[in-house]
Amino acid sequence: MTFKGEGLILYNGPIRELMQDEVDDFIMLELHRGFPVLRVNHGTGEVKLAVDGRDRAGNLRMRGLHDGKWHKIDIFREKSPTGAIVSIL
């Protein structure tokens, strides 16, 4: 629950600078302009899943999550690809 449109919600990964031979492995959920952005890297390159509230035709279907209300975001991974579901409570 927040009124801020930018911020880190969840991070699981290294908290120090990696050595050259170390694998970058993390999952991160953040808000950008009030919308969720999921970033994942399991050592093979970063994948970014971003929501902007619009459908494929460009119509606004969802408002930002920085409205002071509780929201639920389910993150799932079944081998590949990673996905997320945003529910407004």
d(CA 48, CA 41): 9
- Bridge-based pairing of strands 25-32 and 7-12 is antiparallel
Query: Which DSSP helix (H) or strand (E) runs through 87?
Result: strand 82-88
Series of mean pLDDT values for 10-residue runs along the chain (89 residues): 93 85 86 93 87 91 92 78 59
- Determine the pLDDT at residue 20: 82
Instruction: State the pLDDT at residue 82.
Output: 62
Cβ atoms of 53 and 63 within 8 Å: the answer is yes
Tell me whether the omega of the peptide bond preceding residue 81 falls within 30 degrees of 0, making it cis.
yes
The pLDDT assigned to 86 comes to 61
Q: What is the pTM of this model?
A: 0.79
- 47 with 41: CB under 8 angstroms? yes
pLDDT at 8: 96
